[in-house]
A and B are shown apart, each in its own frame.
Chain A
């Protein structure tokens, strides 16, 4: 099982998604904005990251870029309500490996994590 960093400004979303992941046996670490995500990434070196986009302080696209700069092998999937094509393209170009649009199906999130972990 893996260590997954969950980044979302809504405590509600972190609780809901963390529950889903811990049920699957994953260890979950959390961050509530992009800046915190970068710090937690450095500190915890998670196996996979699920990243929201619309967040205060630093948004998820900026955090994705910062994390990929620190670790070019970082495995990040976006998990966001911002499913506009232009944003999906920007995220994929910046190195996101998957893009899940909220409101999400549980299976879709688990599939994204599975994919990130190379399964």
Chain B
């Protein structure tokens, strides 16, 4: 089963970063891994439940966090204060929300939790044995890594399975271009729960 969860997140990240920064990011080559995750200097964590469940992590250096917030506000920020922290947390929230909209058009409903922020690198945690997909995003404000520790189930029922399997169907370089070609699950959208 292939629900296009990975491409929905890539599309959302590209759209949101393009709008916030004025230029789309370059999406790098995806990796999948199952090992324990070690956080970057600044990590935004967004919980997801519904047809897709698990966690999305947005990792970056402190320098990137400052540069992102500075660009989004249109003024130079030099300290990782509440404004900068909530700015990058909100960026993760908005990307996840937009991915939810993309998924809704395919009959897949998700609910997201308020973002949490982890500051300080090397915090390790295991993503409950969900194989995760890492998508590097290169922006003018610095590099971000979007980690999708997610599993998806069909809106018709059935078990949740890691979205990492989706990546094998995607070409390494041009995967965002494949999003439009994905088909909608049969019967999608008829009575998807909130």
- Residues of A at the B interface (CB closer than 8 Å) are 9-13, 15-16, 54-56, 80-87, 90, 101-103
Contacts and interface: CB of A to CB of B under 8 A. Distances in A.
Given A15-B83, A81-B93, 8 more contacts: A10-B89, A10-B90, A11-B82, A12-B73, A81-B97, A84-B104, A84-B109, A102-B90
22 contacts: A11-B83, A12-B69, A12-B72, A12-B83, A12-B84, A12-B87, A12-B90, A15-B83, A55-B114, A80-B97, A81-B93, A81-B94, A81-B96, A82-B112, A83-B97, A83-B98, A83-B100, A84-B100, A102-B90, A103-B16, A103-B19, A103-B20
Contacts of B94: 81, 102-103
Chain B contact patch, size range: 20 to 34
Interface of B: 16, 19-20, 69, 72-73, 82-84, 86-87, 89-90, 93-94, 96-98, 100-101, 104, 109, 112-114, 192, 194
Nearest to A32: B86
A59 B93 CA distance: 14
Contacts of A11: 82-83, 86
Contacts of A16: 72-73
A103 B18 CA distance: 10
A117 B96 CA distance: 31
Contacts of A103: 16, 19-20, 94
Interface majority SS (helix, strand, loop, mixed), chain B: helix
Contacts of B100: 82-84
Nearest to B73: A16
B73 A82 contact: no
Nearest to A57: B114
A13 B86 contact: yes
A54 B113 contact: yes
Contacts of B69: 12
B83 to A, nearest CB: 5
Contacts of B84: 12
